[in-house]
Amino acid sequence: MFLKRKTALITGSTSGIGLGYARALAAQGAHLMINGFGDTDVIDGYVAELAESSGGRAIYSAADMTKPEAIRAMMAECAEKLGGPDILINNVGIQHVAPVDEFPEDKWDAIMAIILTSAFHTTKAALPAMKAKGWGRIINTGSMHSLVASPFKSAYNAAKHGLAGFTKTVALEVATQGITVNNICPGYVWTSLVENQIPDTMKARGLTRDQVINDVLLANQPQKKFVQVEQLAALAVFLCREEASAITGTNLSVDGGWTAQ
């Protein structure tokens, strides 16, 4: 358990990829702060599970990632109650699918705030303590849409491309200070975020559910299967190891071959 006495904060971690990250880091002994929305009893169960798995502490923040003041309060609470964070994973995300000329402006603003701007605020708050310790890991959850585009996802593509550039910039700024910054770029992972966009894609493209899955979601994923949450979590754990300390400023594709084309 090489992460004992380390603290990890993961945004958007009450389900899906983020919860997978939390479970994998807890298994290595990290204290955890998880964040997101959901049923209180279910989240309390996750907190208890993570504390038991890590042998350490786990807490939950309901901070709204569209509100900078809430993000700053979350970061301060983590530092006060758990220390750090030594590991920051910016994972929170939402999606909306529509042609750009029909794209709701409030959806654009929300996607940019939640995916891109929240990562700025969490990173800004986390870096001083990481610099003081001379050690830190910042991992962003990008997407193959950090590297390539798909139609009808203008806000998501823009936010994820922005996250890729933000990753590179911060990595360069802290390159000599024991801190690495990387962007994990999954292909389609079977999570609620992907499942929930199927109806909108059906409407936008005039397709059936099966056609969306096979002809849209997996069309450009050569392995023709969804990426597994556990695969992403294993990569995040590796990026926290000393053996990965020379990996920084990268966009790491885990996409079944999507971006090889």
CA separation for the pair 225, 228 (Å, rounded): 9
The SS3 call for residue 40 is helix
C-alpha to C-alpha distance for 17 and 233, rounded to whole angstroms = 8
For residue 59, list its beta bridge partners: 33
What gap in Å lies between CA 251 and CA 142, rounded to an integer?
8
Residues 253, 145 contacting (CB under 8 angstroms): no
- Quote the DSSP letter at residue 249: S
| 79-85 LR contacts (CB < 8 Å, sep 24+) | 79/129, 81/33, 81/57, 82/7, 82/31, 82/32, 82/33, 82/57, 83/7, 83/31, 84/6, 84/7, 84/8, 84/9, 84/31, 84/126, 84/129, 84/130, 85/7, 85/8, 85/9, 85/33, 85/126, 85/129
Question: Does residue 156 carry a catalytic annotation?
Answer: yes
Report DSSP letters for 89-104, one per residue.
EE---------GGG--
Rounded Cα distance between 62 and 165, Å, is 28
Amino acid at 10: I
Helices 16-26 and 229-239: angle between axes, nearest 10 degrees: 50
Catalytic residue among 21, 46, 60, 156: 156
Question: Encoding tokens for residue 40?
Answer: 């209180």
Active site residues: 156
